[in-house]
């Protein structure tokens, strides 16, 4: 019996129909025996046999038409049971209709006796058919549980319809290697009550449940509305070493089922709990629809997300420019899968190559440019300042000059908070690029050129290539240690979608010459970020996973600013976006010092390059010991 029920094979629907009809016939006979008080001679006669045959024919037609026999009994739901109830009710009704329409006018019979028998039969047959499904379902899950030696003990956050959907989805899992202990909800109307025989606990009880029952994981729904309650429960879980895993919205589940092993751990950005930025999508779409759009750095973290968002705006042509062949190829495959009707050009170009860029402008004639290409890793650029200048400064200058020559409508440059009071080569190179863009904007206004130059400046992006979060995650997976530069180091963080929304908003908000700054809330301590990630993975910081402090690397500083102390901000119509009122520099001066900087690169003298950058940016004070002695 166990082997038959436990088998994953789904048996023929006709076998199910045969079993159902056996129950229907058995119930009919039992109801007659009850009505005749055990007088078998009165039960087994020709008339009763005709009624039974007629009843079976009607029942078969109803069950087949309602597809009762096609359901998988082991996964029966409330809806399936209700359909069985309706099928039996319809069968009885049709039998009464046929008997009173055809049999009663021809043959006399006791209608009261017939109706009494039919009512008794209805309740017996419906009860047995429903009981069959409930018993098989429970027995199937019971036998499944017996197969498992160890099971994970789970909690589900929330005690509402969404939480029940999670429970039902897990119940339908093919491999039930868990035990659902109950739900967690701090709502006073739900606490200490039961939901489908599972108790609803408050978040304060989580630590006790960990000790008593060995709870290992808590599941949360991605689109949970109670953000504060969820945050409190997650913090309790992290304190106790309980892993938190995130469940997508139910419409993303495959065949309505969940598989626990495939559920992702809660993303660290879910713990930021900062209200996301919201944009007016309509005017963003209007600003990009039907345009020829160029994105540099198109295969990078920011560039690829810009591509995805811009494609939703139906541009006339999207030009993807990057020098990384494999990532750009992956981006091409993604676009072909998700945006098959879009018109795109994929171009492998190094923005240092002015000739290749000019050829692209000749053939594609972009109207809007999103400039995301850059060398961004601080320690790497400290050892390669020439490349930082060639890409971040000269590459930007190449694009900007061509944008003016080909009368591009808008040029949106993506900068960084490291350009504010730079302490490293990367930040200084991006600040010089900012200065050139702004000076070119003022120069254009005097000469009545068309292009509007806009800059967006924001902090670290969670999950971007080479950022701290993927680094910590990889170290945790390896068993540690997690390396933090300094216990006091802090950084601003935002998610990739937020960063891109800012860039797209700037593309329609800017009139030219602005540096848009996003209100990123409070900076986050990197040590706290590491501790939370370790806890999210179900480990204890310093015990299971060690944390090692390695000291600030060349060019790094303890904290970063979005604004210089000498800069002021101007509000915009969006409360989360401000404009930095920075000092403007004459175009002739910036163009001259950049040319001097590019000449120095030919000498391959890093110290001379850094000295020149410090002359251009007076507040650039390097924290790299190799360059500190040349601070001017």
What phi-psi label fits residue 241: left (phi over 0), alpha (psi between -120 and 50 degrees) or beta? Answer: left
Greatest mean pLDDT among 184-193, 220-229, 485-494:
184-193
Chain-centroid distance of CA 235 in Å reads 20
Asked whether the beta carbons of 43 and 113 are under 8 A apart, the reply is no
Give the model confidence (pLDDT) of 359-384 as tens digits. 999 999 999 999 999 998 888 999 99
In 3D space, the residue among 598, 627, 599 whose CA is nearest the CA of residue 614 turns out to be: 627
**What separation in angstroms does the CA of 531 have from each of 247, 492, 527, 536, 545?**
23, 17, 6, 9, 9
Residue with the bigger pLDDT between 546 and 112: it is: 546
Q: Which two tokens stand for residue 353?
A: 């190559």
- Residue 6: pLDDT band by 50, 70, 90 thresholds? very low
Q: Give the H/E segment covering residue 455.
A: strand 452-458
Q: Is the pLDDT of residue 488 over 90?
A: no
Rounded average pLDDT over 584-612: 90
**231 burial level (CB within 10 Å; 0-12, 13-18, 19+):** middle
The string of DSSP letters for 386-425 reads HHHIIIIIIIHHHHHHHHHHTT-SEEEEEEEGGGSS--SH
How high is the pLDDT of residue 573? 64
For residue 367, the 8-state DSSP code is S
Q: What angle do CA 269, 275, 279 make, to 5 degrees?
A: 105
The arithmetic mean of pLDDT across residues 109-113, rounded, is 65
Segment 285-323, tens digit of pLDDT: 878 888 999 999 999 888 999 999 999 889 999 999 999
Catalytic residue among 137, 236, 410, 418: 418
Name the region of 430 (left: φ>0; alpha: ψ -120 to 50; beta: rest).
Answer: alpha
| Residue corresponding to tokens 């290697």 | 177
Q: Model confidence at 355, in pLDDT bands (50, 70, 90)?
A: very high
Name the average pLDDT for the chain. 79
What average pLDDT does the segment 245-261 reach?
Answer: 57
**Which stretch of DSSP H or E encloses residue 370?**
strand 368-371
What is the average per-residue pLDDT within 148-153? Answer: 67
Rounded Cα–Cα distance for residues 442 and 350 (Å): 27
**What is the predicted pLDDT for the residue at 629?**
58
Q: How far apart are CA 222 and CA 247, in angstroms?
A: 6
- pLDDT greater at residue 65 or residue 568: 65
Cα–Cα distance, 323 to 334 (Å, whole number) = 18
Would the CA dihedral through 426, 432, 435, 441 be positive or negative? negative
Q: Read off the DSSP letter of residue 174.
A: S
| Sheet with 410-416: strands ordered across | 344-348, 317-322, 292-296, 368-371, 410-416, 452-458, 515-518, 577-581, 568-571
Which residues lie below 8 Å from residue 152, measured CB to CB, with a gap of 6+?
A: 177, 178, 179, 216, 217, 260
The residue behind tokens 């200084």 is: 428
Which of 13-17, 201-205, 231-235 shows the lowest mean pLDDT across its residues? 13-17
Indicate if the pLDDT at residue 271 is higher than 70: no
Quote the pLDDT of residue 87. 79
Kindly list the structural domains of the chain, giving each domain's residue range(s) and its CATH number in brackets, ordered by start: 2-146 (no CATH), 152-266 (3.40.50.720), 281-628 (3.40.50.720)
3-state secondary structure 319-332: EEEECCHHHHHHHH
Q: What is the DSSP string of 179-239?
A: EEEEEE---TTTTT-EETTEEEEPGGGHHHHHHHH-EEEEEEETT-S-HHHHHHHHHHHHH
Whether 9 shows a pLDDT value over 60: the answer reads no
User: Does position 255 have pLDDT exceeding 50, yes or no?
Assistant: no
- Alpha carbons within 13 A on the beta-carbon side of 572: 21
Assess whether pLDDT exceeds 60 at residue 160. yes
Question: Which of these, 335, 343, 287, 294, lies nearest to 316 by C-alpha position?
Answer: 343
Is 418 a known active-site residue?
Answer: yes
Report the candidate in 407, 436, 452, 445 with the shortest Cα–Cα distance to residue 292. Answer: 407
Residue 395, pLDDT > 90, answer: yes
Cα three-residue angle 21-22-23, rounded to 5 degrees: 90
Instruction: Judge whether residue 499 has pLDDT over 90.
Output: no
Is residue 262 predicted with pLDDT exceeding 50?
A: no
* pLDDT over 50 at 546, yes or no: yes
Q: Which helix (H) or strand (E) holds 55?
A: helix 46-65
> For residues 516, 354, 418 and 592, what is the CA-based torsion angle, rounded to 10 degrees?
-90
pLDDT band for position 615 (cuts 50, 70, 90): very high
pLDDT of residue 41: 60
Structure tokens at 194: 């039961």
CB-based contacts of 243, cutoff 8 Å, min separation 6: 216, 217, 218, 237, 265, 536, 537, 538
Q: For 100, which DSSP code?
A: I
């Amino acid at each position: 019996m166990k082997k038959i029920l436990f088998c994953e094979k789904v048996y023929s629907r006709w076998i199910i129909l045969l079993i159902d009809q056996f129950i229907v016939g058995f119930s009919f006979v039992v109801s007659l025996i009850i009505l005749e008080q055990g007088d078998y001679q009165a039960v087994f006669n020709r008339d009763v046999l005709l009624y039974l045959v007629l009843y079976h024919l009607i029942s078969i037609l109803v069950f087949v038409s309602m597809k009762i026999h096609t359901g998988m009994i082991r996964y029966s739901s409330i809806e399936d049971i209700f359909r069985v109830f309706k099928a039996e009710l319809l069968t009885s009704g049709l039998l009464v209709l046929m008997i009173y329409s055809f049999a009663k006018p021809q043959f006399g019979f006791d209608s009261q006796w017939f109706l009494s028998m039919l009512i008794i039969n209805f309740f017996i047959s419906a009860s047995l058919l429903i009981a069959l499904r409930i018993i098989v379902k429970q027995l199937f899950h019971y036998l499944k549980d017996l197969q498992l030696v160890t099971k994970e003990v789970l909690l589900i956050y929330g005690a509402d319809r969404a939480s029940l959907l999670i429970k039902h989805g897990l119940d339908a899992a093919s491999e039930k290697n868990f035990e659902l202990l109950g739900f967690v909800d701090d709502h006073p109307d739900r606490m200490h009550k039961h939901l489908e025989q599972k108790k609803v606990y408050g978040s304060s009880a989580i630590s006790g449940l960990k000790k008593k029952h060995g709870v290992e994981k808590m599941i949360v729904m991605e689109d949970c509305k109670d953000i504060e309650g969820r945050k409190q429960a997650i913090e309790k879980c992290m304190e106790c070493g309980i892993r938190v895993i995130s469940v997508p919205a139910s419409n993303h589940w495959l065949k309505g089922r969940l598989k626990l092993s495939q559920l992702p751990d809660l993303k660290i950005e879910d713990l930021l709990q900062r209200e996301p930025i919201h944009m007016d999508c309509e005017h963003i779409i209007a600003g990009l629809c039907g345009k020829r759009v160029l994105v540099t750095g198109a295969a990078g973290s920011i560039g690829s997300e810009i591509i995805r968002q811009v494609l939703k705006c139906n541009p006339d042509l999207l030009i993807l420019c990057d020098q990384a062949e494999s990532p750009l190829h992956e981006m091409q495959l993604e676009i072909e899968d998700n945006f098959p009707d879009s018109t795109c050009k994929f171009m492998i170009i190094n923005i240092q190559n002015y000739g290749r860029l000019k050829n692209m402008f000749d053939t594609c004639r972009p109207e809007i440019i999103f400039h995301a290409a850059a060398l961004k890793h601080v320690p790497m650029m400290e050892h390669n300042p020439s490349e930082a200048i060639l890409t971040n400064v000269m590459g930007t200058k190449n694009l900007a000059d061509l944008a003016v020559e080909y009368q591009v409508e808008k040029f949106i440059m993506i900068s960084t908070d490291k350009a504010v009071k730079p302490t490293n080569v990367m930040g200084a190179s991006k600040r010089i690029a900012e200065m050139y863009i702004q000076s070119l904007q003022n120069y254009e206004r005097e000469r009545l050129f068309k292009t509007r130059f806009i800059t967006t400046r924001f902090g670290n992006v969670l999950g971007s290539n080479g950022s701290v979060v993927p680094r910590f995650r990889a170290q945790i997976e390896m068993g540690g240690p997690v390396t933090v530069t300094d216990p006091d180091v802090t950084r601003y963080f935002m998610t990739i979608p937020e960063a891109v929304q800012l860039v797209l908003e700037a593309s329609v908000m800017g009139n030219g010459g602005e540096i848009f700054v996003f209100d990123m809330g409070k900076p986050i301590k990197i040590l706290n970020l590491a501790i939370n990630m370790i806890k999210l993975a179900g480990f204890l910081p310093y015990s299971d996973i060690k944390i090692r402090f390695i000291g600030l690397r060349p060019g790094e500083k303890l904290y970063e600013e979005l604004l210089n102390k000498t800069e002021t901000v101007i509000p915009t119509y969006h409360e989360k976006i401000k404009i930095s009122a920075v000092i403007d520099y004459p175009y002739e001066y910036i163009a001259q010092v950049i040319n001097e900087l590019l000449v120095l690169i030919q000498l391959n003298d890093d110290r001379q390059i850094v000295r020149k950058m410090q002359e251009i940016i007076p507040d650039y004070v390097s924290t790299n010991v190799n360059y500190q002695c040349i601070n001017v």
